[in-house]
Structure 1
Amino acid sequence: MENDIHQRIKELFLANHSRLTFHARSILGNDEDADDVVGDVFFELWNKRETVNLDHGVNTYLYRAVTNKALNMLRRRQISGQYFEAINEITELRMEFVAEENSGSDSDIERAELARDIKAAIESLPDKCRQAFILSYLHGMKNADIAEIMQVSVRTVDAHIYRGLRMLRERLKYLLSLLLFFNLY
């Protein structure tokens, strides 16, 4: 019995995945979120396998579930986007305040320039990478909490943070050589 249900869900996935992903993409505007939505719908279908009729009306169920999840993601994205903008603004004001308060000596000026370089590097990250990176490293949030805010999986948050760190290392690698040079002398 369980094998039959597993096989039926697998068949439904193979038959509908690309069509449902296209549908989700048309609502959300990007492939990554569309894949997440379709994956979540099939995960929920698996969890509800005992209560959902997998033979009658399942295509309608899948379409509705994808549509609802995609629309919910858009709503949450709008809310989290507003939240992220507010956090970003607060972070920017904090950095400006610290730079102004500590200005004067050469080391303070260098620190302010360094902060500007780091801020510019962070701002150059792709939107989702930047959002995940700022929430993780500047606000100390856990990846599970970030995933909830961004409405993606924890693995996606991990990937965004890893990608962001890799891009920052590449963009700021000159700072490492400067720090090593000045520490040696």
Structure 2
Amino acid sequence: MTEKEFRTYFRDLYPQLAQYATRLLGALDVEDVLQGTFLELWNRRDDISTAAHVRAFTYRTVYTQSLNVLKHRAVVNRYSAAVVDMENKTAALLSPDACDVAFNMACKELSNKLTNAIEQLPPKSKEAFTLSYLHDMKNKDIAQEMGISVRTVDAHIYNALRTLRTKLKLTDLNTD
């Protein structure tokens, strides 16, 4: 194949091959595929003798190179999806909400505030509250142990809870 014949093939086949490649690939990468096709045709110009052979060779080359482009796109998309997934998982692990250390610190801080607030309760309310909530005793058993009536135990626990709520709300307002 001479250079003149090559130019003729290029001029005649390029629009048809461009349309074919566009149907296979969309608008992206068509120019690259066609450039590669005609470069391959030029490199094999001595092996190709007839016009029918040139036409079949160029269509087959466009098809093969288009498949390679599509495979490459699939690899890139899978890689991109894997990277995004990995970044999302990393962000989730580093999130303050998912962080055990931050959660444990918050729990410890709350526990310290609650302990301090309980320590500041009047002695009888403190004892009734502690026996009820920390030792899981029933009010009847607490009344027997403290030597007071069940209604008095109820009043001590009620006062303790009201005091704790007030103190813990004030503590939360001071930390924010």
Q: TM-score range by the shorter chain?
A: 0.3 to 0.5
Output the TM-score relative to the length of structure 1: 0.45
Structure showing greater radius of gyration is 2
Q: TM-score, normalised by structure 2?
A: 0.47
